[in-house]
Chain A
Amino acid sequence: MSGLVSMEEVERVAELANLDLAEDEKPRMQRDLNAILEYVAQLNQLDTAGIEPMAQVSDLLSHLEGAIGADSGHGALLRADALKASLDRAEVMEEAPDTDGAFFRTPKVIERQWGSN
């Protein structure tokens, strides 16, 4: 885990996260991120070579099923891959900031610059 987070890194991460931080927010975020990352650096005290990362609780239970006698009832519930009715479109669209009723409307994705190329 390398060093401290620079202001450029704060800006780069904000861009990755689609956050447009106000100028006065940036120093505070930099300070807090550094304090937190310094604290989490204690994980480096542990040798974790060869330990499989645990992403889900179900990983753990299936992995240790024999050892702890976890019941066979546990496990992912996969639904049938079948067509079924979803939410009512009109109701869903009512919550959209801008819609034509069938689609969500957004500002232009690509702005053409007519005659000024």
Chain B
Amino acid sequence: MGIELTTETLLEKPATIAALREGIASGTLTATELAERYYARIAEHNPLLNVYLSLTKEQALEQAAAVDATAAKGDPLAPLAGIPIGIKDVLVMQGAPSTAGSAILKGYHPPYDATAVKKLTAAGAVLLGKINCDEFAMGSSNENSAYGPVRNPVDTDRVPGGSSGGSAAAVAANLAVATLGTDTGGSIRQPASFCGVVGVLPTYGRVSRYGLIAFASSLDRVGPFAGNVRDAAEILRVIAGGDPSDATSSPRPVEDYAAESDKDVRGLKIGIPEEYFGEGLDPEVRAAVEAGIEKLRGAGCEIKPISLKHTKYAIPVYYLVATAEASANLARFDGVRYGHRSASATNLSSMYRLSREEGFGPEVKRRILLGTYALSAGYYDAYYKKAQQVRRLLAEEFLTAFAGVDAIVTPTAPTAAFKLGEKTDDPLAMYLADIYTVTASLAGICGVTAPCGATSAGLPVGMQVLAPHFGESTAFRVARAVESASE
């Protein structure tokens, strides 16, 4: 590789938002110094990790200077004033290209900001740049990016997970205090687990999808990554809320998730679904998650075995629903309005076909083909409609379970981070990396994943805490309890 970096210098836990805010408010730290420090660290480690696809230094330093001017006057600071944050490249943001990890959008400069991005800026955050991911958020290892894979800072021969692999790796290597990612079938939770950071799947509709380059619209969510549960909760509070630009967003009031996360978990009923602890679960992952469950018991939670018997159908349902929606969403990339247009096109039809053939990578084509097939005449009822029916069974099963428990705890992924190249030849094996995360995606419920231990090789293991629709406060509270028992 020609780059000599030890794991120790790569891995670094970010300072907490509260500590940085206090430093900036009291004048012991300036937002400008902080931003410069992050850009220096990015310059040092990005060549190896390949986390950032583009940097927005000029506008970041302008924002930092504005925060410093406010602090110097002694005026009150916005909730994320001066906090360096990175944005997954499927969210549009002015001032940098938005590629979605795809060659078809190479060099595309969006004319507007995603709502979540706009809310972070309004809250004073310093947005460092755009972060690598699987092409159109399709993948579980970040190896499907047209701009090269991201490496896991815990072990650089391993994947960081996907599709928000860069967003997870950025926090693990302290190349941002927090990041935004997106989760359609596990794309925030699984990489958070692989990299040893906190990741949040907000309830469907809790965060606006406006400005998110769509993959599967009935499943796509925007959520934060952070180094600790409280910080993830603070970021979610800023980006959550109804948005007139997204008709599926909810106007329900946003709670103070960080304050809620500090509440005692004593007496909470935690469901442990047996289906998430069966065949395919790595024994070391199981041991770490069980240790986490014991911590919850020790903190006064009531642990209840439960059953979610349709779990095994979730991967088939997910890969039919998600690909069907993707095949429709990705029809917009046709070489007409933005993005790549083939130079070899001779007429309109060949322009569409060649632009798409040249611009999309293999996994994206595979999913478009599968989705088109599932929606095509003669197969619609057998595949797409059937999947939607089973989706309802899966979702209702969660609602029934939540009538008896406050939260459900499972492993986030069946294994710790795997090696680069290990699964690239077998799409089905790759899809099974999402086996514990797709269920919540289909049901629309929320969840938080937090580190609960490590394997004997030192690879992080995440615990997934699921809560009912709009039950983020409960999920944060349980995740925080596991985190504080480990401190």
* A and B together in one complex: yes
List chain A positions with a Cβ less than 8 A from chain B: 1-2, 5, 9-10, 13-14, 16-22, 25, 28-29, 32-33, 35-37, 39-40, 42-44, 46, 48, 51-58, 60-61, 64, 67-68, 70-71, 73-79, 87-88, 91-92, 94-98, 104, 106-109, 111
Residue on B with the closest CB to A97?
Answer: B341
What 1/0 flags go to B204-224 for Cβ under 8 Å of A? 110000000000001000000
Cβ of B317 within 8 Å of any chain A Cβ, yes or no, is yes
- Knowing that A17-B327, A95-B337 touch, tell me 8 more A-B residue pairs with CB under 8 angstroms: A20-B350, A35-B428, A40-B320, A53-B392, A60-B396, A92-B111, A97-B339, A107-B351
- Of the candidates A22, A57, A91, A106, the one whose C-beta lies within 8 Å of that of B336 is A106
Whether the Cβ atoms of B356 and A18 lie closer than 8 Å is yes
Evaluate whether A77 and B244 lie within 8 angstroms (CB atoms) in the complex, with A16-B372, A106-B348, A107-B346 already known. yes
21 contacts between A and B (CB under 8 A): A1-B379, A1-B386, A20-B354, A20-B357, A29-B366, A36-B428, A40-B319, A48-B390, A53-B391, A55-B388, A56-B218, A57-B205, A60-B399, A68-B402, A73-B252, A77-B251, A95-B108, A97-B339, A106-B351, A107-B350, A111-B347
Query: Which residues does chain A contribute within 8 Å of B320, judged by CB atoms?
Result: 40
Would A21 and B335 count as touching, CB distance under 8 A? no
Contacts of B240-272 to chain A: CB distance below 8 A:
242-244, 246-253
CA distance A5 to B468 in the complex (A): 39
CB neighbours of A40 from chain B (8 A): 316, 319-320, 383, 387
Given known pairs A17-B327, A17-B368, A54-B395, the reply for A43 and B390 (CB within 8 Å) is: yes
Given A46-B313, A68-B399, A107-B348, decide whether A29 and B365 contact each other with a Cβ distance below 8 A: yes
A-chain residues with CB within 8 Å of residue B246 when the two chains form the complex: 77
Q: Find chain A residues with CB under 8 A from B338 CB.
A: 95-97
Measured CA separation A52–B388 after assembly (Å): 8
State how many angstroms separate the Cβ of A90 from the closest Cβ of chain B. 9
Do A51 and B366 touch across chains, with their CB atoms under 8 A apart?
no
Knowing A51-B393, A88-B111, A95-B338, the reply to whether A57 touches B357 (Cβ < 8 A) is no
A51 in contact with B337 given A19-B353, A29-B366 (CB within 8 Å): no
B280 at the interface (CB under 8 A from A): no
Residues of A within 8 A of B379 (CB): 1
- B373 adjacent to A18 (CB under 8 Å): no
Centre residue among B249, B340, B390 by max chain A CB count within 10 A: B390
Q: For residue A14, which residue of chain B has the nearest CB?
A: B369
- Point out which of A1, A53, A76 has the most chain B C-beta atoms below 10 A from its C-beta: A53
